[in-house]
């Protein structure tokens, strides 16, 4: 379990316990890209003491949980997994794909709140293990600012 503090704690005020459900086939592409990528993108974090933003390297293959135009997982690996123009491949949470789900904005808001979100999670190998063990879905349970992986 990872403590994601401020971004997900604000979302937890809206919805205390939520589950994000992803199709394992799409997640496999995300994690395979991250694992085989030449390098990982850095991440920006806020220094708890100073409040200043700092850039940190990512040493393990990671995925990004993001909410902007949809709610999705994508690879943190570089070079990016581009599918069209500047658009990276994304595994969308159920009900949160703006290209398929007419109510994606409301569902995304109910799951993680109104604000944009970008969280780097060093879980590519963990998610791949769930998929290789036969998981058909990947579930990320959000509870009071914490996040944990579950298989479906």
Give the pLDDT confidence score for residue 2 in this predicted structure: 45
- Domain extent listing, the chain: 2-151
Beta-carbon contacts of 34 under 8 Å, excluding residues fewer than 6 positions away, are 40, 61, 62, 63, 75, 76, 77, 124
Tell me if the domain spanning 2-151 has CATH number 3.40.50.
Answer: no
Which parts of the chain are beta strand (E)? 2-3, 17-23, 39-40, 43-46, 53-56, 63-68, 70-75, 77-78, 82-84, 87-88, 91-92, 117-121, 137-143, 146-151
Q: What is the pLDDT of residues 106-138, one digit of tens each?
A: 999 999 988 888 999 999 999 999 999 999 999
Q: What is the pLDDT of residues 5-42, one digit of tens each?
A: 454 545 445 556 799 999 999 999 999 999 999 999 99
Give the pLDDT confidence score for residue 3 in this predicted structure: 43
């Amino acid at each position: 379990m990872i403590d994601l503090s401020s971004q997900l704690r604000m979302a937890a005020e809206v919805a205390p316990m939520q589950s994000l459900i992803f199709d394992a086939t799409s997640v496999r592409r995300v994690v395979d890209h991250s694992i085989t990528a030449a390098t990982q993108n850095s991440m920006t974090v806020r220094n708890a003491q100073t409040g200043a933003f700092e850039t940190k390297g990512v040493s393990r293959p990671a995925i990004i949980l993001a909410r902007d135009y949809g709610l999705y997982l994508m690879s943190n690996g570089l070079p990016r997994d581009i599918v069209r123009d500047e658009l990276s491949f994304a595994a969308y949470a159920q009900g949160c794909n703006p290209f398929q789900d007419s109510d994606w904005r409301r569902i995304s808001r109910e799951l993680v709140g109104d604000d944009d979100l970008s969280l780097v999670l060093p879980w590519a190998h963990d998610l791949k293990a769930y998929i290789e063990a036969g998981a058909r879905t990947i579930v990320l349970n959000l509870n009071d600012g914490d996040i944990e992986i579950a298989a479906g």
